[in-house]
Amino acid sequence: MAERKRPRRTRERILGTALLLFNGAGEPNVTTADIADEMEISPGNLYYHFRNKDEIIAELFAGFERSLDSLLASPEGRSAGVEDLWFLLHLLFEAMWDHRFLFRDLDDILSRNRKLASRFALIMRRGARTVIELCRSLVATGAMDASQHEIAALADNVAIVATYWISYQKISAGERAAETVSLDRAAYQVLSLIAPFLRGDARALLVRLSRDYL
């Protein structure tokens, strides 16, 4: 019975090791040979499970998609509050941090793989739509004061800052600093986009919540 389980475990170990190495060194700097080496298995054993690195990346990306699936679902029934926004960002950045190799070399990875690129575009559009829905809900309860135009522009800006924060840090602070990127700071940056549109208690609450991030 232990024998029957082995292939699955090896497959999962390959994914786990690849994720660790990609996140640590950057995906372009890690080969399938490096992954096999790190696991002390033969390259042949690795190729039995994945034909090439892009197949490993696609599987890791599917994991990222699954972790976002529940997050980007519309809020259920009740109106959203500032806490929902804060909680959503918290979970979103946790999922991004777990798969940070994607965001360190996003253009590079997506330009090699059109299927991945269109799946990523879908995630971005869903993310922007979720922000729009949350904002509309906040406007309906009086916690936010923003026009439809302002909300649309805000949703794009949230998607851009969230997606490119890691890349921006890498470019502006240099390669050495890539490992010290703070996703808490990313959450703070996104909250700073939304804060000016909040009113009264909602704004005070956001200021208090975002203090934890600095």
Rule CB under 8 A: which residues touch its own copies?
Answer: 28, 104-108, 110-111, 114, 117-118, 120-121, 124-125, 128, 150, 153-154, 156-157, 159-161, 163-165, 167-168, 170-175, 188-189, 192-193, 195-197
> From the CB of 35, what's the least distance to its own copies, in Å?
21
Q: Which is nearer to its own copies, 95 or 193 (CB)?
A: 193
96 contacts 103 by C-beta, under 8 angstroms: yes
Minimum separation from the CB atom of position 128 to its own copies (A): 8
| Cβ nearer to its own copies, comparing 61 with 188 | 188
CB of 190 to its own copies, least distance (A): 9
Residue 198 sits at φ, ψ, to 5 deg, of -85, 155
Of residues 4 and 211, the one with the C-beta less far from its own copies: 211
d(CA 26, CA 42): 22
Tokens encoding 102: 């994607």
C-alpha pair distances (Å), 116 with each of 8, 61, 97, 158, 190: 24, 8, 19, 21, 25
CA 171 to chain centre: 18
Q: How far is the CB of 99 from its own copies (least distance, A)?
A: 16
Closer residue to its own copies (CB): 161 or 205: 161
Minimum distance between the CB of residue 101 and its own copies, rounded to whole angstroms? 12
Contact 191, 202 (CB under 8 A): no
- Please give the structure tokens belonging to residue 100: 């940070």
Amino acid occupying residue 96: M
Nearer CB in complex with its own copies: 121/140:
121
CB of 98 vs its own copies, minimal distance in Å: 20
Helix axes 183-194, 200-211, angle to 10 degrees: 170
Backbone angles phi, psi at 199, to 5 degrees: -125, 150
Of residues 71 and 106, the one with the C-beta less far from its own copies: 106
Q: 169 with 116: CB under 8 angstroms?
A: no
